[in-house]
A and B are shown apart, each in its own frame.
Chain A
């Protein structure tokens, strides 16, 4: 088997200092293979976003092993209103990652942005607009393009479709699935929505209270949940449908 894209073992993490120091992740172990989409599900406050932040190096108070093989892993956030700079144009937002990775030539950046647009279903005319002049779905496409354009292979997605309505969700999920195949991406996909995870992911890890209680192939977990918490989560999700 190829070397994993992400290898986490016995990871603990804390927020705060001194008396307020509070442990969130407890003995988390995970592997994410190249080209794989791993879903992380669990109720609110279970530590899903914290796990994402650890992988991206945004939480530093940790113990255990954390190996990430992709340079510059990127994140796609839940709210495309907050993740795009409101005063910049889409063109600027997409060129900025290239500027940051040292592409000095303006024409070269422009060309790479233009080449990238069809991959995420955007048009050249969108480049001159500010985020406020785009629909929610278009904004999330811009956010996805900005995360991918540096060429990193690992993308962490924290509830990337939760802020969108159901038809848009399906569109964006299809887009993500297609991109993973075309570009050979690995996804760490955080969601509280089991149905969404089922559509996109190959494997799933179930989190509660900062720990992973069950992990395996999507079909296996959804059809034969073993841990009582997973059963509860599935039952709750079925009740919603």
Chain B
């Protein structure tokens, strides 16, 4: 009686398509993304320029491909920083508990009380724009939410009989944490990672849109949208295609996350 998990199916297909699109952009673009072709200024979509050209005569498809690659890389890097640190903090806090845990969770609460994009804005206002600054600022700001998620899972498992039994056998704490408990938390963490990924994509796009994310010379979907906002009605393709790339990427990953949650719910 296995019901088809449509979220997971559609989400996986969509995510795979967007990843393929992005991966393509890392190796190949139809034109040089920054090349300005005076003859093709304001050109609407055509066989020569599938997504049209912008006011400087730059090929929108090439720029979207490149921007998607960069946005995705930044989001993944943010996730790697946030998830790795959050995992370590959350696992130790959840497993050991005690006053250190209470203190760290208070700090996480305090950090979570501010919208993370706003905090990132402040950090970037100090450090200046740039890809690595964005990754650093967002990555650090993502730690508390992951830490909280992981801690909750570890709290759930640390008093289970199989953990007590491992302790009695003399298994070391680090092994209990990472080999015995962690694999049990994968479904929850994965679903958390999909949410984190989407937040990272959005945060990077918004910050670049606001002009404090990547530098103007670095590609980013958010920065393309900022560039195109003056010509939204005259050159809609400059906005529609990068925006669609952001939306489809987020939608795909979001559906995967929803699908994982549905499957977990079904398993329980």
Q: Which residues of A contact B (CB under 8 A)?
A: 56, 58, 72-75, 77, 79, 82-88, 96-97, 99-101, 143, 146-147, 150
Contact = CB atoms under 8 A, between A and B. Distances in A.
A72 B169 contact: yes
- With most chain A CB atoms within 10 A of its CB, the pick from B160, B168, B180, B184 is B168
B78 to A, nearest CB: 28
Contacts of A85: 162, 166, 180, 184
A146 B165 contact: yes
- With most chain B CB atoms within 10 A of its CB, the pick from A58, A100, A101 is A100
Given A79-B161, A84-B162, A85-B162, A74 B168 contact: yes
B165 A77 contact: yes
B169 A96 contact: yes
Interface string B157-179: 00011101110111100000000
Given A85-B184, A86-B184, A87-B184, A101 B170 contact: yes
A83 B168 CA distance: 12
Contacts of A99: 171
A47 to B, nearest CB: 18
Contacts of A88: 183
A130 B137 CA distance: 42
Given A85-B184, A96-B171, A101-B170, 4 more contacts: A74-B168, A83-B165, A87-B184, A88-B183
5 contacts: A58-B164, A86-B162, A87-B183, A88-B183, A96-B171
Given A85-B180, A87-B183, A87-B184, A72 B168 contact: yes
A239 B67 CA distance: 78
Contacts of B184: 85-87
A100 B162 contact: no
Given A85-B180, A85-B184, A87-B183, A73 B168 contact: yes
Contacts of B168: 56, 58, 72-75
Nearest to A83: B161
B98 to A, nearest CB: 12
A83 B170 CA distance: 16
Contacts of B180: 85
